Amino acid sequence: MITSTDNPRVKEVLRLRKARERRGSGLFIAEGPREVARARDAGLRVHATYVAPALIDWDDPNAEPVDERVMRKLSYRAEPEGVLAVVEIPHHTVPPDATLLLIAVGIEKPGNLGAMARTADAAGADALLVADARSDPWNPNAIRASTGSVFTLPIVETTADDVARLPYQKIAAALGAPHDHTSPDYTNPTAFLVGAEDDGLPDAWRTLADVQVEIPMHGHTADSLNAGAAAAVLLFEAQRQRG
């Protein structure tokens, strides 16, 4: 059992809290019984699992036991659930038969990016493309917000040039756009471009779109939706049209 927070393996896990370490190592942390189980069920390669027997009864003979104090040090959450795993980041490309994509542009908060992955998964999108991101989908908050959807939904880093070459109609969500979000025909291969809540979609990305659409607002105070909610409205409208 690991009982010291100075253990080299503990320090290796702690380094993965930083995005640059995740990118450099190709590893991320799945924390909590739901996330660890879903990462395993998705067939992702698990490099190590750590469990605190004082906090959880976890059936895995290969898990490394740690004491409760070490687990609290390892955990990203204020109240650890007793198990976490170091997992290899999966690498995907856009599926060749994809017909519905969500492109997240400039998303800053990991929780919002994770929520967009959950939304895309729930709405039957074929992939989530991430561009100009100020957060990454392997941040612990993003993983938690996705409820594990990042483990199975293809997530692909992209650029404006890559998106311009995609053989899809490109629909940009933008305040003040000339078309209502229900107006275009989404039965053909479609890619939705959604920007961050504070700044929206940058002009350079809007110019890539074939059509710009707006989701009408009817509230007294709210004048926009967050990125995850906007993505949900667009994706489910596409699925409604497709029957």
Residue 166 to residue 199: CA distance in whole angstroms: 24
Same domain, 80 and 128: no
Q: Is 2 part of any domain? A: no
Q: Kind and range of the H or E element at 215?
A: none
**Between the CA atoms of 209, 212, 215 and 219, what dihedral angle is there, to the nearest 10 degrees?**
120
Q: Which residue would you say has higher pLDDT here, 164 or 135?
A: 164
Q: How far is CA 144 from CA 79, 113, 211, in A?
A: 14, 11, 33
Residue 167 to residue 64: CA distance in whole angstroms: 47
CATH number at residue 222: 3.40.1280.10
Same domain, 44 and 123: no
The pLDDT confidence band at residue 115, using thresholds 50, 70 and 90, is very high
**Between the CA atoms of 232, 234, 237 and 238, what dihedral angle is there, to the nearest 10 degrees?**
-110
Q: What is residue 55's predicted lDDT score, i.e. its pLDDT? A: 96
Q: What is residue 138's predicted lDDT score, i.e. its pLDDT? A: 96
Same domain, 229 and 143: yes
Q: What is residue 171's predicted lDDT score, i.e. its pLDDT? A: 98
| DSSP conformation class of 130 | E
Q: With 70 as the cut, is the pLDDT of residue 220 above it? A: no
Q: With 90 as the cut, is the pLDDT of residue 137 above it? A: yes
For residues 81-97, average pLDDT: 96
Same domain, 137 and 196: yes
- Mean pLDDT, rounded, of the chain: 94
Q: Note whether 174 and 215 are within 8 A (CB).
A: no
Q: Is 93 part of any domain? A: no
Same domain, 111 and 83: no
Q: What is residue 74's predicted lDDT score, i.e. its pLDDT? A: 95
Q: What is residue 175's predicted lDDT score, i.e. its pLDDT? A: 84
Burial annotation 71-95 (CB, 10 A radius, 16+ → b, else e): bbbbbbeeebbbbbbbbebbeeebe
Q: Are strands 27-31 and 46-51 parallel, antiparallel or unpaired?
A: unpaired
Q: Is 196 part of any domain? A: yes
Percent of the chain with pLDDT over 90: 87
Q: Kind and range of the H or E element at 127?
A: strand 127-131
Residue identified by tokens 């991320």 is: 28
Domain final residue, candidates 88, 123, 142 = 88
State whether the Cα torsion 64-70-73-75 is positive or negative: positive
Q: What is residue 198's predicted lDDT score, i.e. its pLDDT? A: 72
Same domain, 127 and 185: yes
Q: What is residue 183's predicted lDDT score, i.e. its pLDDT? A: 95
Instruction: Quote the domain boundaries for residue 64.
Output: 8-88
- Residues 141-199 pLDDT 10s: 999 999 999 999 999 999 999 999 999 999 999 988 889 999 999 999 999 999 987 77
Q: Note whether 65 and 54 are within 8 A (CB).
A: no
The pLDDT confidence band at residue 119, using thresholds 50, 70 and 90, is very high
Domain final residue, candidates 88, 109, 138 = 88
Q: What's the total number of domains in the chain?
A: 2
Residue 101 to residue 129: CA distance in whole angstroms: 7
Q: What is residue 41's predicted lDDT score, i.e. its pLDDT? A: 96
Residue 140, beta-bridge partner list? none
Q: How far is CA 85 from the centre of its chain?
A: 18
Q: What is residue 212's predicted lDDT score, i.e. its pLDDT? A: 96
Burial annotation 34-57 (CB, 10 A radius, 16+ → b, else e): ebbbbbbebebebeebbbbbebee
Same domain, 41 and 140: no
> To the nearest 5 percent, what fractions of the chain are helix, strand and coil?
35, 20, 45
Domain final residue, candidates 66, 88, 110 = 88
